[in-house]
Structure 1
Amino acid sequence: MITSQSLRRMRRGSRHSAASARAIHDLIVSGPTKKPIIAYGPPGRSAVTGQVATVFGCTGFLGRYLVAKLAKAGTQVIVPYRDEDMKRHLKPMGDLGQIVNMEWDLRNDDQVRECLRHSDIVYNLVSRDYETKNYSFEDVNVTGAAKIASLAQEAKVSRFVHVSHLNASPTSPSKFYATKAKGEEAVRESFPMATIVRPGPIYGYEDRLLRSIATWPSTWKMNNSNTKLRPVHVMDVAQGLTNLIYQPALARTLSLPGPQTFTIEQMFDLVQAITMNPASKAPHLPKFVAKLLARTSDFVWWPVLSPDQVERRYIDDANVEGDWDALGVVPDEIERHAVNYLQSYRAPENMYRPPVIPDSTNRTSPERSYHVMQ
């Protein structure tokens, strides 16, 4: 029979064994802050890595997956938010006390300082896909990025990770890509040991790639659909960013393109094969017509397409080698996941039919071969 006294002895014994199981490798002294980081517990949601991460831009597409990965590993995550409703889905991603919500504004230095002053690593995912009356590309991609990096350096944060874009270039005709490149330079000046990450076009459940092609095919009918894309899975990018916590500081630029190159025409084939909807009969728009329509749509509260996005439809993704090995990630091919994100676009009678999609081994052949996904 187990008495209350014996139960207390068992509890004391378990606490003693857990404490004695800790070793010197559980103690990490972080960089400039010299703050001790103590990890304990088995890996997983209820573990404690001892690390604190701030994810600016956490309410966006990539941000929610990064927060989920970090919290699942036992990292405490600071979640800066602007809108109360935009961060509610992040709270259940971690155990009690692991997700810390903090209101912030990009133009408020004190709020930015408060969000990062306890952090061991800071991720900047803040971006602007189109300009608004409140924020321009320059405000967000350059000035805002430099401010966050500068305040992180001031607070002696050990690690800073800035997410840019695969096509970032100071000479790009796209203002978005040009300001992304300027933002990288500004971040490097403010935080010399920063890690710059350049992912390609990202696809997933809330993406602006596969869903956009399925919903608004006419907005992709430019450049004769010959623009080349290198799409990458959001889970691969999020895992790569998470792995940076456990590696020595990488003061370099990491390019993360997808493992395959598609033309937009081939992306149309893939989307059509999975959704089983008729091919779009929208004509290919000349560039000046597309820009004119895009400027007109700017007067709408939620523009479907901006003039700068039209410009990007004519720019091929950079033909560079990926740095996935540095992050310990092997990127997946898009065919393995696209059906999960596009099946909801099918008609009811086609919902459970296996899709016939283009064979990835014959992507460059004029006579495309197809296979049935099981």
Structure 2
Amino acid sequence: MLATASHCVRLPRILRSQQKRAFGDIVIPPSGKPAIRYGPPGRSAVTGNVATVFGCTGFLGRYLVSKLAKMGTQVIIPYREEDAKRHLKVTGDLGQIVSMEWDLRSEDQIEECVRHSDIVYNLVGRDYETKNFDHDAVHAEGAARIAEVAARAGVPRFVHVSHLNASESSLSKFYRTKARGEEYVRGAFPNATIVRPGPLYGYEDKFLNNMAVWPIWWKLNHAATTVRPVHVFDVAQALANLQDVASLPGTFNLPGPSTLTVDYLLRMVSSVTYRPPSRAPVLPKPVALQLARAAQAVWWPALSPDEVERRFINDADLPSDWDKFGIVPDEIEEHAITYLRRYRSAENFTRPVVLPESRGPEVWVQQS
């Protein structure tokens, strides 16, 4: 029997207030936009959040898009080349991955990509310069343009990914422009979250895979350079966790849990792949720079001159901020076999891993 109006009037006050509650009353802080959330937790859920990931087709970007989509977030993926973003379509449920063509120099296209977003990630970067985009145009001017447009469009949260070694006084132009980009982003978006990860390793990395294929380029500086590698999954998860944080302004360092020498990593790669250590000579820095410039003149470089410079720069010894993101980073030895097993010959594929002798103080330094 249907309830009459008189029956509704006699309901307790608390029930009457609940009846007035609508989906529009649930909002996403701090934007105040209504969030309609439904579905079980996971890939098929809808959280009501919308995120834009610039640089989504890069190494870190693909994992961030995947993690956001699995949380039920609708992700805007700006792209330059059609084929470069096709693999991202299946990372989310139907309608959750929205691709939009864009250009770094077009403010109108940037605004179209961010106008409906609750959080914007800028992961745009490149290892080497081209005639169309040098490091300044990408890391500094490009970052400033995206931050300015996002602020103008009323985006409540902006996350900018820099590098652990970003410094205005660095010998590397890559690191100098990264530092300049941080400064521009702070000026355009004062409440921005700036994240500085260390060198990333993973399936498609240019770190472990590069060591296995081109060890000669890692023997520069007699392989004495210290690095702080971090798993790409850990950084992607840290960035994804920011979606549920109302505001986290400031600069945060996300280095790997240990400081290792390149020599130790080369020996680890040799142990996992069952390949003898490389006997290639150690190239003097001037010779390596000349070879890199020659390769750059013929085609895009396998190793740019600026990357040669970076091989002689130790990773910054800065305290980590992983606790603010709720992540405990993994050691590189825990995952090395996953990415390096494919470099074994067929006869050695099933052999067990024998890591190099235990790290000594001359090889590594454990962070406190």
TM above 0.5:
yes
Tell whether 2:29 aligns with 1:27. no
1:121 aligned partner:
119
1:84 aligned partner:
82
* Structure 2 counterparts to residues 1-374 of structure 1, below 5 A: 27-31=26-30, 33-358=31-356, 362-365=358-361
User: 2: distance between equivalents of 1:37 and 1:253?
Assistant: 29
Aligned-pair CA distance for 1:168 = 0.2
Contact 1:26/1:40 (<8 A) preserved: no
1:234-262 per-residue CA deviation (whole Å, 9 max, x = no partner) reads 00000000000111311111100000111
Aligned-pair CA distance for 1:29 = 3.9
Secondary structure at the residue paired with 1:197? strand
Relative to structure 1, the CA distance from residue 188 to residue 366 in structure 2 (aligned partners, 3 Å threshold; closer, same or farther) is closer
Contact 1:26/1:39 (<8 A) preserved: no
Aligned-pair CA distance for 1:35 = 1.4
1:116-140 per-residue CA deviation (whole Å, 9 max, x = no partner) reads 1000000000001100111000000
Aligned-pair CA distance for 1:300 = 2.8
Aligned-pair CA distance for 1:109 = 1.1
1:129-169 per-residue CA deviation (whole Å, 9 max, x = no partner) reads 10011100000000000000000000000100000000000
What amino acid is the match of 2:273? T
Contact 2:50/2:73 (<8 A) preserved: yes
Contact 1:165/1:180 (<8 A) preserved: yes
Aligned-pair CA distance for 1:299 = 1.5
User: 2: distance between equivalents of 1:301 and 1:27?
Assistant: 54
Aligned-pair CA distance for 1:25 = 12
Aligned-pair CA distance for 1:194 = 0.3
User: 2: distance between equivalents of 1:109 and 1:147?
Assistant: 7
Gaps in structure 2 of 5+ consecutive residues: 1-17
User: 1: distance between equivalents of 2:66 and 2:183?
Assistant: 29
Relative to the length of structure 2, the TM-score reads 0.91
Secondary structure at the residue paired with 2:258? coil
User: 2: distance between equivalents of 1:174 and 1:23?
Assistant: 55
Secondary structure at the residue paired with 1:119? coil
Report the more deviating stretch, 121-130 or 41-50: 41-50
% identical equivalent positions: 62
Relative to structure 1, the CA distance from residue 41 to residue 296 in structure 2 (aligned partners, 3 Å threshold; closer, same or farther) is same
1:169-220 per-residue CA deviation (whole Å, 9 max, x = no partner) reads 0100000000000000000000000000000000000001000100111111
RMSD (Å), alpha carbons? 1.9
Aligned-pair CA distance for 1:42 = 2.2
